[in-house]
Amino acid sequence: MSASGNDQHTPPAEAIGNPAAAAAWLERNVVESLPSGGLKRKLEQSVAESRPLRVKLGIDPTAPDIHLGFTVVLGKLREFQELGHQVVLIIGDWTARVGDPSGRSATRPQLSIEEINANAETFADQALKVLRSDRLEVRRNGEWLDMPLDELFGILRTTTVAQVTEREDIANRLRSGTPVSLLELLYPVLQAYDSVAVEADVELGGTDQHFNLLLGRDLQRAFGQQEQVAIELPILTGTDGERKMSKSLGNYIGITEAPADIYGKTMRVPDSALDEWYGLLVGNPPSEVLTPRDAKRQLARELVTRFHSETAAAEAESHFDRVIVRGEMPEEIEEGHIASDSEATVHLPAVLSELFGISRSEARRSISAGGVKLDGAPVAELDLVARELDGKVLQLGPRRHRRIIVD
RNA sequence: GGGGGGAUGUCCGAGUGGUUAAAGGAGACGGGCUGUAAACCCGUUGGCUCUGCCUACGCAGGUUCGAAUCCUGCUCCCCCCA
């Protein structure tokens, strides 16, 4: 495993310049590649015309960071790059305003334009943690979706209501009486039109994108273009080991998260999900000589190394051993300032509330449950003399610490 | 435009005048245990100046000793008809 963590995306020698071998390698861990044989034909065409394929991936900036599940798709894009093809990364600043209903049981919360733009800003940077910076074209779909109505009408004519309402997620919502807005029905058509706009040869997505990917082919045909190949990748399970990794379920690991968080969250993943995580994120199963614990530690190190550095991984591991395994204080503890006369009485719930951002009632509950410690010893009193707190480490639960400074 | 149904805590969901801060579940948090931040067990889960007080069942008002529960108006959602 290299520091870049991208060995898994390096093509074997026989795949270079050989469409059949290249297609087989690219399709080795995908769930679906449609139509069957389509990718090989595209690759042959690429060789014949000596032109790189345009491989599209759309990503809506609905959350501020890219999570691990998404890197599975990015990794596949990287493989196309390694074979010399052109990646077209579409930041869906306009589709984000519409909201993708795929796999959803309710309408997405509306994001403000400011949030969308702020997220869009960082997305390309984050994607570069997996993608190469050459053979990469980054576009925003506002470039073409901000169109006159008559053009939009032309696009909407291509698709029927039955098509967009028959898909399972939408059909379920209609059946259960959950609201579905017209805008949501529009979404797949707009995403499909992105394929037309960038003249995609291949589009990637998770299996939840099945409908959207195939509709892209329909739109391209309607606009007189060659149809793209649709490649569907597996969806990574979240840190709960059960549901798909997603921002809204809170079971995700963002690739820009702090090393200690990536390491810790990875350790929290149930052992039962280990094989899947190795397969999708590392590209090979864990070594059989490793116990589940050590396999998980190795995965955690590998992930921190990939998104930060080897040094950060070592530090994250020792932090984990120290704070979680041995229950000791972290090496570095953030200071927490409280303003008080040193002889005055301070109300502990108020201090906890201020330093850790919880409510005072919540703080009281934690205290009575024995979850609040001062220099490692549980505290029961609600009011303390400020002097007794000064310089001590206040701890909330197993992993939140602050060194108190009385000003 | 007409008719019918609905809006409950982070989420799902019970509750149709009186120990209801609101059953149950999920999630989350804390404790125990553990190789782990898993699993399992236990506890907590609106706020606060905390043996009490305040706020809360879409919004506004009303009836009542007392309402999430009854009435009126409004907003939003779903279904059917047009």
Predicted local confidence at residue A1, as pLDDT: 38
On strand B, nucleotides with any atom < 7 Å from a protein CB are: 27-31, 35-39, 43-50, 77-79
DSSP code of A392? P
pLDDT at A101 over 80: no
The conformation of residue A282, written as its DSSP 8-state character, comes to I
What was the ipTM of the complex prediction? 0.82
**Residue A28: how many other CB atoms lie within 10 Å:** 9
Instruction: Evaluate if the CB of A362 falls below 7 Å from strand B.
Output: yes
**What CA–CA distance (Å, rounded) separates A383 from A181?**
53
H helix or E strand, kind and range, residue A396 = strand A393-396
- Identify the structural domains of chain A with CATH numbers, from first to last: 7-233 (3.40.50.620), 259-325 (no CATH), 335-406 (3.10.290.10)
Answer whether residue A131 shows pLDDT above 50: yes
A35: Cβ under 7 Å from strand B? no
**A396 beta carbon < 7 A from strand B?**
yes
Cα–Cα distance measured from residue A71 to residue A56, given in angstroms and rounded to the nearest whole number: 15
Measured between alpha carbons, how far apart are the two ends of chain A, in Å?
49
- Rounded mean pLDDT, A333-347: 86
Q: What is the pLDDT of residues A1-48, one digit of tens each?
A: 333 445 788 899 888 889 999 999 999 989 999 899 999 999 999 999
Average pLDDT over every residue of A185-192: 92
A337/A314 Cα distance (integer angstroms): 30
pLDDT at A383: 87
pLDDT reading at A180 higher than 50: yes
* Nearest-5° Cα angle at A39, A35 to A43: 150
Q: Is the pLDDT of residue A124 over 60?
A: yes
Within 7 Å: CB of A366 and strand B? yes
Q: What does the pLDDT average to over A67-72? A: 92
Q: Indicate the average pLDDT of chain A.
A: 89
pLDDT at A308 over 60: yes
Give the pLDDT score at A402.
Answer: 92
Mean pLDDT calculated for residue range A343-370: 89
Closest C1' nucleotide to A358's CA: B29
Strand B proximal to A157 Cβ, under 7 A: no
Q: Output the pLDDT for position A5.
A: 44
**Interior/surface letters A63-87, b for 16+ CB within 10 angstroms, e for the rest:** bebbbbbbbbbbbbbbbbbbbebbb
